[in-house]
Amino acid sequence: MTTTAGSAEHLPPALRTEALEQLLTERGLIDPKAMNGLVTTYETNIGPLNGAKVVARAWTDPEYRRRLLEDGTAAIKELGFGGFQGEHIVVVENTATTHNVVVCTLCSCYPWPVLGLPPSWYKDPAYRARVVKEPRAVLSEMGLELADDVRITVRDSTSEVRWLVLPEQPSGTEHLAEEELVPLVTRDAMVGVAKVAAP
């Protein structure tokens, strides 16, 4: 891809990023495998682990759960998570009769401090457009079947408000300690496209 200095700024951010990565790779300044590993770590491990700790605390501490649902940002900061992309996080709770799912229809606003980097499907235009119009069908395609009487609410993240789903605690895990619950909580459950499975 060849661009002039004046035209590069008009390219979509994804193309500019790809061009920059290619240039840095060609000059030997970055290793693509190491870069991919770093992205994967933040996308699937470090970030979601923070959110899982928040969820596990809410499941085991009713007072913390109350604070989390009243002021998500403040309660999340209690556990040491906050900062860029986490300035205003609102937490909503999934129950047996209500299911929340998160999308960003304009771009890919996402609560990085508790979920890490957004997965590729979250940024995909098809997900962003379809989950608003036909959430039940999209969730079904992603492997989550909900009963017809479960009310689905789609939460649209923006630069001002980012949403985090407090998933239902799986039946039979009430006796588990907080640290035992953390590994059960997935990123997808905190976005609302999956449920947390019992061990």
The single residue of 7, 109, 140, 157 carrying the catalytic annotation is 109
Containing 102, the helix (H) or strand (E) segment is: strand 98-103
The single residue of 107, 120, 140, 159 carrying the catalytic annotation is 107
Half-sphere exposure at residue 13, Cβ-oriented, CA atoms within 13 angstroms: 3
Among this protein's residues, is 108 annotated catalytic? yes
Q: What is the CA angle 112-94-176, rounded to 5?
A: 85
In the structure encoding, which two tokens stand for residue 90, read together?
């609102």
Among this protein's residues, is 171 annotated catalytic? no
Q: What is the DSSP string of 10-74?
A: TS-HHHHHHHHHHHHHHTTS--HHHHHHHHHIIIIIIHHHHHHHHHHHHHH-HHHHHHHHH-HHH
Among this protein's residues, is 120 annotated catalytic? no
The single residue of 7, 104, 140, 157 carrying the catalytic annotation is 104
CA distance 92 to 87: 16
The single residue of 7, 108, 120, 140 carrying the catalytic annotation is 108
Closest CA to 91 of 105, 104, 102: 102
Among this protein's residues, is 107 annotated catalytic? yes
CA distance 58 to 39: 28
Residues with a catalytic annotation lie at 104, 107-109
